[in-house]
Amino acid sequence: GESVGLHLPTLSVQEGDNSIINCAYSNSASDYFIWYKQESGKGPQFIIDIRSNMDKRQGQRVTVLLNKTVKHLSLQIAATQPGDSAVYFCAENVARGAGGTSYGKLTFGQGTILTVHP
């Protein structure tokens, strides 16, 4: 029978191009956001994070942008390389829940498949 599963957004780029991966989050109370990279056969790997008091943060070849007005998060990868091919997840956290703390519980997006062609 036909398999049914999550239909992840995909992004295909050429090596050397810049990539932009987008994420819409749902909880306006979220105040901490993380991007993860997951390669085949491995666990999600932390890339970069940003707190809600910032709208931009840069790492090595990566930049995260946060637009709280429209609840949108993006990950920019400069000079994309074949090794960047993976599934990318955004995650959000509410640092202070009703009980005073969320203990770091994250809510994950469904992911975006990035394919980099040599």
Residue type, 118: P
Q: Cβ neighbours of residue 118 under 8 Å, at least 6 residues apart?
A: 15, 82
Q: Give dist(CA 72, CA 25) in Å, integer.
A: 6
Instruction: List the interface residues with other proteins, window 5-34 (CB under 8 A).
Output: 5-6, 31-32, 34
User: How big is the site for other proteins, counted in residues (CB under 8 A)?
Assistant: 28
Instruction: List the interface residues with other proteins, window 44-83 (CB under 8 A).
Output: 44-46, 49, 51
Residues that bind other proteins (CB under 8 A): 3-6, 31-32, 34, 36, 41-46, 49, 51, 89, 93, 95-96, 101, 103-106, 108, 110-111
